[in-house]
Amino acid sequence: MIEYRTLRVALLGAGSVGSQVAKQLLEHGDELASRAGTRIELVGIAVRDVDARRDVDLPRHLFTTDAQTLILGADVVIELIGGIEPARSYLLQAINSGADVVTANKALLATHGPELFAAAEQVGAQLYYEAAVGGAIPIIRPLRDSLAGDRVNRILGIVNGTTNYILDRMDTEGDDLESALAAATALGYAEADPTADIGGYDAAQKAAILASLAFHTSVPHDAVYREGIEGITKEQIDSARKAGYVVKLLAICERILDPATGRDGVSARVYPALVSRKHPLAAVHGANNAVFVQAENAGDLMFYGAGAGGPQTASAVLGDLVSAARRHVVGGPGVAESTHADIPVLDIGSVLTRYQVSLEVADEPGVLARIAGVFSDHGVSVEVVEQSTPRSLGGEATPVRESPARGATLVIGTHEAPEAALAATVAALAANEVVTSVASVLRVEGA
Amino acid sequence: MIEYRTLRVALLGAGSVGSQVAKQLLEHGDELASRAGTRIELVGIAVRDVDARRDVDLPRHLFTTDAQTLILGADVVIELIGGIEPARSYLLQAINSGADVVTANKALLATHGPELFAAAEQVGAQLYYEAAVGGAIPIIRPLRDSLAGDRVNRILGIVNGTTNYILDRMDTEGDDLESALAAATALGYAEADPTADIGGYDAAQKAAILASLAFHTSVPHDAVYREGIEGITKEQIDSARKAGYVVKLLAICERILDPATGRDGVSARVYPALVSRKHPLAAVHGANNAVFVQAENAGDLMFYGAGAGGPQTASAVLGDLVSAARRHVVGGPGVAESTHADIPVLDIGSVLTRYQVSLEVADEPGVLARIAGVFSDHGVSVEVVEQSTPRSLGGEATPVRESPARGATLVIGTHEAPEAALAATVAALAANEVVTSVASVLRVEGA
């Protein structure tokens, strides 16, 4: 009989993830313990209200409202409160008392990651956060460890299940944004206030975490360029389908050339983009997540699975707990977060992208020439132009004629160009008298 | 300026992977060092013939034929020789001298894994083998660490790029096996003697490694049931397509009920199987690999990427090297391989599967009733029967009539049943006088 040391685990928070973690620990603690080589004891669960209703029935004696005392007696602290405070203070307290910490708190990592990593490094503690991005999908360890000997060039991530559900439903069911959102809310995918998801804020936090990891540098979440899906219309989804694309909200982390220095820079950005239906990301349906990684030697990799949910996120948290327990057996300081590369984070204007622009244009001779002139004036090269009349929208695009018919719609796809030039082109188009309106502007990614 | 300790790395083998590892280490050693927090020095490369031609130009002074002396002076030994001996002796020597070891040697792990893990545990060394399965795809760490707090129930893996290329080509180009194999050979995907790939031996070794990891138990490679793709015909691929399936060579690792004890057992098996075209694995084309994992809490996960190739495999090896280097900084013993669960490995006969059987049957009244009788005699429930005449093969299946037309083909899909009962059914069908021949037997997986 092996004599195990005991790992004392404190849990902060008993929401949908926390209560699942507690349940699994109480039911399968022995199994986890034998995998880790140490006994694992859940010493307590700190909550605001001991009497609140929980998803799972848990022993009442484990609950406490005194998080700080609970943390003091723990070898590992699992933080599942969410938000910035008091989560940040509790984690710093835990780290400073020498405990390893496990968290699923993307908002906290995206805003105070460097502070937490520095505190952990100082005392030799380890911070685990596999659950912070992509729910149960292992993506943190692969980037941090498996790809540590490679050079990641680009990440395209579907990292927000709510928006993927909505966009997928608009594509497959023909819903408009409003009714797709209502369906997501009814299924519990969207929260009462869906701004964090719809506005791309959640995805931007995850982009900051992924970019920091992938490029071994520190990318604050407010350096992530962000657009949400609020403006996405049924018409855009339909046109995309006809052109062989699907619209996905992407978190993009890219190693690009800094035009100012000619050296490596990092771009992290979130926006809805057109993705070819042949791209592996196009097959990610419903509320699923996937992270597509392009590395110098490894080539194209993809990690796919459920991006949220209590049991799913608990799986990632418990995997981190077993890692912490194994480390506890071995002893010694934790591995410091690798941010040595210190690559500058560049503005969206420096990024090279491709635009697809739909314009409603006046019925005048020479319109196409004038539109084309606006693109060339900004140094943007046009790849393809298609014309369709309003009535044919939803039908086949018709070939371009020099003089568009009354109230025609032009769909213009560009070659790759600097984002700043593309944005300036669109502004100039909007101001041009032959343009009735700019109906849609979407970037094309993943080509 | 941080003062780093130096990690002395010995490389055994300079083939397509080894020479890439050496090249990357020499060119990007500083980058890897800063990620690891230690200086990394390639102290030598052991080869059989110093003067042999290499894929990559490497400094001649690094080469030696004296592997044993090289190993003695190393902190980390990277074994990329392949095969059982002398790889096994070298790795044991390295481990016993206290070095951590990195290997891509699936054959060695599948046959002598327990011996190597025990040796490593005894001295507190660590054995890394991310490159042994799925090339650059991170799958070892996700199973070993990320999912350590969950319960894996099933793995369906496309883990052999050569056979996936061949089957994909038969499906998309209409090639027969022979010409698809010739194409694979011409592209360098298949070796001169393709037996290890085509016969499923390579996949079986990987299945043993994945099953051992996923179920925390020891699964020897000779306990893996194995069928290759030698018998797969163009006709089978075509019929599969028409029925909404694609044929994939799958490595299947499954937690099943041991019928003898009513407790958990493990099945590891490799065979070509019908996979629904809607399954994520169906979209894995060319020589790519993918591992589909079903876990209790995490749900469905998939890991996708290039399964082979020098730079790709080198990426995984170098990721392991950075992990070893980080561990070297921290010190302390390695984490022992978790095989505590000690679940029995069950025979293929205990597995529940679904069969799709194509029979050529005689032109007699009452044939269908007699065929159906054979299934029911063996306790196998039939889900669907379709009849097609030989001429309509390649066309639409026609509805079943009680008396099949002259030389008709019956395609029978079963419900899930024990493999032993299904195999006995097929044997009885083959011996039945109304059956002219059993044209095809394929299992259906991933439903």
pLDDT at B389: 57
Shortest CA distance to B165 belongs to which of B253, B236, B229, B225? Answer: B229
Which of A297, A316, A335 lies at the smallest CB-CB distance from B311?
Answer: A297
Q: What is the mean pLDDT of chain A?
A: 91
Q: Does domain B351-445 have CATH number 3.30.565.10?
A: no
Per-residue pLDDT band at B345 (split at 50, 70, 90): confident
Average of per-residue pLDDT across B83-105: 96
Question: What is the maximum alpha-carbon separation in chain A?
Answer: 90
What pLDDT shows up at residue B402?
47
Is A15 annotated to bind a ligand? Reply is yes
Q: Which among B130, B331, B340 has the least Cβ separation from residue A34?
A: B340
In the predicted structure, residue A397 carries a pLDDT above the cut 90: no
Whether the pLDDT of residue B285 is over 80: the answer is yes
> What Rg value do the Cα atoms of chain B yield, rounded?
25
Which residues of chain B lie closer than 8 angstroms to A130, CB-CB?
146
pLDDT at B351 over 50: yes
Express the helix, strand and coil content of chain A in percent, nearest 5 each: 40, 25, 35
Q: Considering CB atoms only, which of A31, A299, A332 is closest to B330?
A: A332
CA quadruple A11, A16, A19, A21: dihedral sign: negative
Q: In this structure, what are the phi and psi dihedrals at residue B76, rounded to the nearest 5 degrees?
A: -135, 135
Does the distance separating the beta carbons of A302 and B315 come in below 8 Å?
no
Provide the percentage of residues in chain B whose pLDDT is more than 90: 77
A330 with B334: Cβ contact below 8 A: yes
Task: Using pLDDT thresholds of 50, 70 and 90, give the confidence band for residue A365.
Answer: confident
Give the pLDDT score at B395.
Answer: 40
Where exactly are the structural domains of chain A? 6-135+311-330, 140-307, 351-445
Q: If pLDDT is split at 50, 70 and 90, which confidence band does A86 have?
A: very high
How many Cβ atoms are within 10 Å of B332's Cβ, its own excluded? 13
ipTM over 0.85: yes
Residue A55: pLDDT over 90: no
Q: What percent of chain A is modeled with pLDDT above 90?
A: 77
User: Which position has the higher pLDDT, A308 or A292?
Assistant: A292
CB A297 within 8 A of CB B315: yes
The segment with the largest mean pLDDT, out of A156-165, A367-376, B53-62, B398-407, is A156-165
CA angle, residues B55, B57, B58, in degrees to nearest 5: 115
The CATH class of the A6-135+311-330 domain is alpha beta
Class level of CATH domain B140-307: alpha beta
**Residue range A162-167: mean pLDDT, rounded:** 97
Mean pLDDT confidence for A346-353: 89
**Please, which pLDDT band fits residue B4 given cuts at 50, 70 and 90?**
low
Residue type at B263 in one-letter notation = R
What kind and span of H or E run contains B106?
Answer: helix B106-123
Chain A hits for B141, CB-CB cut-off 8 Å, are 138, 141-142, 145-146
Fold identical between A6-135+311-330 and A351-445?
no
Residue A170 is predicted with a pLDDT of 98
Q: Tell me the Ramachandran region of residue B183: left when phi exceeds 0, alpha when psi lies from -120 to 50, beta otherwise.
A: alpha
- Concatenating the DSSP letter of every residue in B121-142 gives HHHT--EE-GGGSSTTS--HHI
Residue B11 pLDDT grade (very low, low, confident, very high; cuts 50, 70, 90): very high
- Check B298 against A317: CB less than 8 A apart: no
Strands (DSSP E) along A21-62, which ranges?
A: 39-46
What pLDDT is stored for residue B447 in this prediction? 72
Confidence of residue A402 (pLDDT cuts 50, 70, 90): very low
Instruction: Say whether pLDDT at A338 is over 90.
Output: no
Topology (CATH) of B6-132+311-330: Rossmann fold (3.40.50)
Question: Does B337 or A44 have the greater pLDDT score?
Answer: A44
Q: Is the pLDDT of residue B5 over 80?
A: no
Please say if the pLDDT value at position A282 is more than 70: yes
Q: Write the pLDDT tens digit of every residue in B207-262.
A: 999 999 999 999 999 999 999 999 999 999 999 999 999 999 999 999 998 888 98
Residue A216 near residue A278 (C-beta atoms within 8 A): no
* A95 has pLDDT over 90: yes
Which of these, A314, A332, A340, lies nearest to A102 by C-alpha position? A314
Query: Closest residue of B to A36, CA-based?
Result: B338
Is B13 annotated in some ligand binding site? Answer: yes
How near does any CA of chain B get to the CA of A276, in Å?
A: 14
C-alpha span between A106 and A208 (Å, rounded): 9
Tell if the CB–CB gap between B150 and A136 is shorter than 8 Å.
yes
Question: How many other C-beta atoms are found inside a 10 Å radius of the C-beta of residue A364?
Answer: 12
User: Mean pLDDT over residues A23-38, rounded?
Assistant: 90
The per-residue pLDDT for B53 is: 87
In angstroms, the separation between the Cα of residue A23 and the nearest Cα of chain B is 12
Residue indicated by tokens 């390649």? B394
DSSP character at residue B404: P
pLDDT score, position B323: 92
Which residue, among B14, B314, B288, has the nearest Cα to B161 in the 3D structure? B288
Identify the closest residue of chain B to A151 by CA–CA distance.
B315
The amino acid sitting at B354 is R
Select from B11, B7, B73, B74 the least CA-distant residue to B38: B7
Distant-in-sequence, close-in-space partners of B118: CB < 8 Å, separation ≥ 6: none
Count Cβ atoms below 10 Å from residue B314 Cβ, excluding itself.
31
pLDDT in tens, B353-404: 999 999 999 878 889 999 999 999 999 999 999 887 544 444 444 444 444 4
pLDDT at B3 over 70: no
| Confidence tier at B327 by pLDDT (50, 70, 90) | confident
Whether A25 has a pLDDT exceeding 90, the answer reads yes
